[in-house]
């Protein structure tokens, strides 16, 4: 198989691995533009910031209780992200129950419960704010917890990349060879089209699914453009293989 065709097959594999690449993007982001930090804002909010990616804002007047948790005990993650130095998502612990976690590690945490019944287990040094929160208990603004993310922008980017990939494949299809070589094996033109359309459909679902999962997690939406980029790479590589790798 010509070297150029191996390159196109490599693009195909890279596209399939796009979500894994998205996790690496999150790993990089939390050490750069989305570095986590915790603070008490002047306007009366406990803020867990993820920099460019978004933030969680808990109105201090709505905090019912705060408690330092050295070790939350046995539990499991329902949805979210687990990477070295990062734990975010919905968890369930035997003693605490269901709780939303934003932490670097499951040690030395602060359990925050609001009057609306929301429970958060916060890390990133939040425990050092315990005294300040206890002093401010009952004061400050009241209301719902605010979670700000870039999920909408990321979902739009992912969907547009996926649509672009499908357009590339459909425009190339009439000119593709009847049989081509993909990853060293013979591939029928119609089979390539079906494969591309199925992957394109999955590529349309991924942004919506990740957007839903990331509605309360500022970091999950970072993976959405990589899902769209992966679909674009797969569709483009199928088109290129059909055009230039005929047998």
Q: Mind listing the pLDDT tens digit for each residue in 83-103?
A: 888 898 899 998 899 999 999
With 70 as the cut, is the pLDDT of residue 221 above it?
yes
Sign of the Cα pseudo-torsion (198, 201, 207, 213, in order):
negative
Whether the Cβ atoms of residue 51 and residue 35 lie closer than 8 Å to each other: yes
* Higher pLDDT, residue 181 or 113: 113
pLDDT above 70 covers a percentage of the chain that reads: 97
Taking alpha carbons only, the member of 114, 117, 111 closest to residue 138 is: 114
Please give the average per-residue pLDDT across 128-148, as a whole number.
84
Indicate whether this model's pTM tops 0.85: no
The phi, psi pair for 33, rounded to 5°, reads: -65, -20
The per-residue pLDDT for 19 is 66
Q: Which residues pair with 147 in a beta bridge?
A: 56
The per-residue pLDDT for 202 is 84
- Alpha-carbon distance values, 79 to 4, 48, 83, 86 (Å): 40, 19, 13, 14
Maximum alpha-carbon separation in the chain: 76
The per-residue pLDDT for 22 is 80
Please give the average per-residue pLDDT across 134-156, as a whole number.
83
With 90 as the cut, is the pLDDT of residue 155 above it?
no
* Higher pLDDT, residue 5 or 215: 5
């Amino acid at each position: 198989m010509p070297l150029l065709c191996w390159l196109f097959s490599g693009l195909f594999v890279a596209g399939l691995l796009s979500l894994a690449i998205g996790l690496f993007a999150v790993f990089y982001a939390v050490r750069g533009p989305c570095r986590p930090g915790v603070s008490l804002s002047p306007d009366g909010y406990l803020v867990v910031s993820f920099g460019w990616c978004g933030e969680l804002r808990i109105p201090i007047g709505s905090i019912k209780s705060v408690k330092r948790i050295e070790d939350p005990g046995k539990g499991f993650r329902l949805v979210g992200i687990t990477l070295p130095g990062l734990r975010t998502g919905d968890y369930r612990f035997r003693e605490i129950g269901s709780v939303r976690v934003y932490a670097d590690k499951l040690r030395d945490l602060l359990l925050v419960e609001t009057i609306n019944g929301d429970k958060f287990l916060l890390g990133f040094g939040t425990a050092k704010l315990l005294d300040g929160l206890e002093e401010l208990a009952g004061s400050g603004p009241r209301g719902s917890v605010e979670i700000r993310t870039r999920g909408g922008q990321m979902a739009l980017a992912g969907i547009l990349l996926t649509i672009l990939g499908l357009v590339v494949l459909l425009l190339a299809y009439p000119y593709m060879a009847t049989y081509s070589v993909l990853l060293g094996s013979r591939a029928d033109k119609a089979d390539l089209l079906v494969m591309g359309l199925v992957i394109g459909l999955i590529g349309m679902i991924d942004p919506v699914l990740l957007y839903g999962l990331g509605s309360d997690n500022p970091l999950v939406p970072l993976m959405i453009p990589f899902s769209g980029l992966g679909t674009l790479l797969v569709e483009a590589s199928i088109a290129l293989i059909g055009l230039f790798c005929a047998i």
